[in-house]
Structure formats: structure tokens, C-alpha cells
């Protein structure tokens, strides 16, 4: 009995396994006969032909927006910072107070210079009176020439000391003026690199600002496209981040090429716009001659994942075609670089 049970258990397990395989294989389901379903007929009224157009072509060159007028604010003294009146993004006027440095010791030095001037002026007044008496006595023959000359030398020496004291006062007052750092231009604060309580050293970068009305686009343009450009020529600038296109006027072309890239630096002035910021990415559209382009309406191309797809009439049906796009046009069309031929009919994206 035990041997019979040992024999039946593997047979039952094998039967169950075969039954499951049959279920998963679809032996107990209805079958669909193999074949191709007829493609639905397309409406040619909705089809648009791919148009070949000969016209001017522009090449998009990567560029960046930079400020023509930018300034780094630093100190001419070593002193503790007491106040910083601005922060990043603030608009400032020319001459506006930006930060203050500690000036107690400088004020004391200026006061010492004033006191020194008063002291020398008093001594000089006495020396001049002594010189007048010496001149009078010398005329009467009552003193020697050496005594008169000594009085003259004393007065001249004190006059020189008075001039030196006045120069020391001017120097001290100038140093006091350096404790108040004001904006040299009207512009916008980019960043500040110190805080109140820090010690400022001569030449240390404290603030940076730029003139928002002096923005321009800078791009390295290959020599074939850069050489025909001329100052004053108007170009288009695309701002992908802001989804905008602006006009720019070529300001200068640096007359020396980068020997590694064989390209020239081209700078073009942008219109004043508060939304533009230095460092933004841009694309400078540089004329590149005429060429033949294939154009279709932009709404006939769909983005599927990371690929661009168009549906093209083929026979009585349609087929999906992967395409590579170029630059869009102002009238809502897009350039087809590959995937379509001139005259082919493109259908709307199926629902």
C-alpha cells in the first residue's frame, strides 16, 4: 500500500502541472485566426503636404548674457565693517551709500591734525612778529644780520610745518571719507561677500553690482559666419528659459580668433529689459546663407517620449514615421531634417 502511494503522488503532481500549462497556453480559450486587420481609411482632406522652401537660413550659436558695465566694490582701508545697507537684487543709484566702516580712530587722527594746525599757526604768528621786530632792529643797526636771518628761517620753517599739518589734515579727512563706500554707478547688486562685523582689507571683494541697462549677448561664432558680420547689424536672440526672442545689434567683433576653436567673440547689445539677468543662456541666430528646407505645420509633429513622430499617408492608410526637427519658423511651421520627403502628406495626430 505504501509503495502504491509513492507511485501515485508523482503521477498526480505531473497531471496537475500539465493541466496548468494547458490553461496558461490558452487551450481552453477561444482562438482568433491569424491575419492582418484592414487599416482604417484615412481622410486626405486633413492631410498637409511637406513643402520644400528655398530661403535664408540662420544658425543658432550658444551664447550667454553678460553685463557690459559691472563693478566690484572693495575697501581702501583695513577696518571693521559696521553697516551694509544693501542685499542681492537691490537697485541702487549712483552715489548711494552701500556700506560703512569703523572710523573712530580716523576721526581722532583728523582731530589731532586740526590741533596741530592750531599749534603751528600760533607759533607762526609769534615768529612773524619776531621777524618784523628783527627787520626793524636790523635797519637801525641794533642786531646782526645773523639774528635777522635766524628770525626769517624760523618763520619759513613754521610756514612749512603749517603746510605739512594742513596736508596731514586733508589726508586724515580723506581716510575718513573712505569709511563710507558709495555706489560708483546706478545699477543692481549681484551679491555681497561680507557681513557687518567682518574686517575689510584693502582690495578685498565686498559687493558686486552691474548696470542692468548695459546687458549684451556674447557668443563664440565660427569664422565662416563671424567674418561677414558687421557692427550695427541686427540679429535675433532666443532665450529658451524665458521662451522669448529679442532683437540685438552687433556692437563689436573681437578682431582675433580663438586658435583652438577657430571662432570669434561676437558681442551684441540687447534692449533694456528688467527680466534679463547676467549669465542667462541664449542662442544667437547668425545668418548662414540660403538653403533648401522641408517644412510642415508644427502641430502635425507629436512628441512621443523623447522622439518626434509624424503620421504619413501611405497607400490607403497611414504609417508612423520618426522625424528629426530643425528650427521652428515664425508662421508656426517647423523644419524637418530627416524622416520626410517633399510632397509627402502628413496627417493629424490620431486620437
Interval 15-62: pLDDT, tens: 878 888 877 777 777 766 676 666 566 676 778 889 888 878 788 899
313 touches 45 (CB < 8 A): no
Here the cell at position 252 is 563689436
- Which pLDDT band, with edges at 50, 70 and 90, does 207 fall under? very high
Interval 149-191: pLDDT, tens: 888 898 888 889 989 989 999 998 888 989 999 999 999 999 9
The model scores a pTM over 0.75:
no
Q: What is the pLDDT of residue 183?
A: 93
Position 2 pLDDT exceeds 70 = no
Find the mean pLDDT for residues 324-348: 86
User: What is the average pLDDT value for the chain, to the nearest integer?
Assistant: 87
Q: What is the pLDDT of residue 1?
A: 56
- Which pLDDT band, with edges at 50, 70 and 90, does 97 fall under? very high
Sheet containing 199-200: give its strands across.
180-182, 97-101, 79-84, 199-200
CA distances from 125 to 36, 74, 142, 152, 167 (A): 122, 44, 23, 13, 19
Amino acid at each position: 500500500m505504501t509503495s502504491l502511494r509513492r507511485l501515485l503522488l508523482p503521477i498526480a503532481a505531473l497531471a496537475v502541472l500539465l493541466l496548468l500549462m494547458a490553461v496558461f497556453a490558452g487551450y481552453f480559450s477561444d482562438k482568433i485566426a491569424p491575419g492582418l486587420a484592414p487599416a482604417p481609411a484615412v481622410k486626405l482632406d486633413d492631410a498637409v503636404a511637406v513643402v520644400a522652401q528655398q530661403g535664408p537660413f540662420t544658425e543658432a550659436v550658444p551664447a550667454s548674457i553678460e553685463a557690459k558695465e559691472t563693478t566690484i566694490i572693495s575697501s581702501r582701508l583695513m577696518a571693521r565693517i559696521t553697516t551694509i545697507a544693501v542685499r542681492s537684487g537691490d537697485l541702487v543709484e549712483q552715489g548711494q551709500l552701500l556700506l560703512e566702516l569703523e572710523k573712530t580712530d580716523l576721526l581722532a587722527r583728523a582731530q589731532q591734525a586740526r590741533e596741530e594746525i592750531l599749534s603751528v599757526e600760533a607759533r607762526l604768528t609769534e615768529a612773524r612778529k619776531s621777524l618784523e621786530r628783527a627787520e626793524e632792529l636790523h635797519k637801525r643797526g641794533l642786531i646782526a644780520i645773523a639774528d635777522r636771518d635766524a628770525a626769517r628761517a624760523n618763520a619759513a620753517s613754521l610756514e612749512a610745518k603749517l603746510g605739512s599739518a594742513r596736508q596731514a589734515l586733508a589726508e586724515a579727512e580723506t581716510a575718513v571719507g573712505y569709511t563710507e563706500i558709495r555706489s560708483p554707478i546706478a545699477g543692481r547688486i549681484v551679491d555681497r561677500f561680507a557681513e557687518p562685523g567682518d574686517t575689510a582689507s584693502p582690495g578685498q571683494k565686498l559687493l558686486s553690482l552691474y548696470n542692468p541697462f548695459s546687458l549684451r549677448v556674447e557668443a563664440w561664432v565660427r569664422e565662416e559666419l563671424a567674418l561677414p558680420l558687421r557692427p550695427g547689424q541686427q540679429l535675433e536672440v532666443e532665450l529658451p528659459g524665458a521662451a522669448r526672442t529679442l532683437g540685438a545689434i552687433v556692437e563689436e567683433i573681437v578682431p582675433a580668433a580663438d586658435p583652438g576653436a577657430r571662432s570669434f567673440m561676437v558681442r551684441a547689445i540687447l534692449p533694456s529689459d528688467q527680466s534679463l539677468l547676467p549669465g542667462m543662456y541664449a542662442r544667437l541666430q547668425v545668418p548662414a546663407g540660403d538653403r533648401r528646407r522641408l517644412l510642415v505645420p508644427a502641430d502635425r509633429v507629436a512628441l512621443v517620449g523623447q522622439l518626434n513622430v509624424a503620421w504619413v499617408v501611405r497607400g490607403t492608410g497611414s504609417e508612423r514615421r520618426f522625424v528629426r526637427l530643425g528650427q521652428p519658423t515664425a508662421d508656426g511651421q517647423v523644419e524637418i531634417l530627416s524622416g520626410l520627403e517633399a510632397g509627402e502628406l502628413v496627417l493629424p495626430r490620431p486620437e
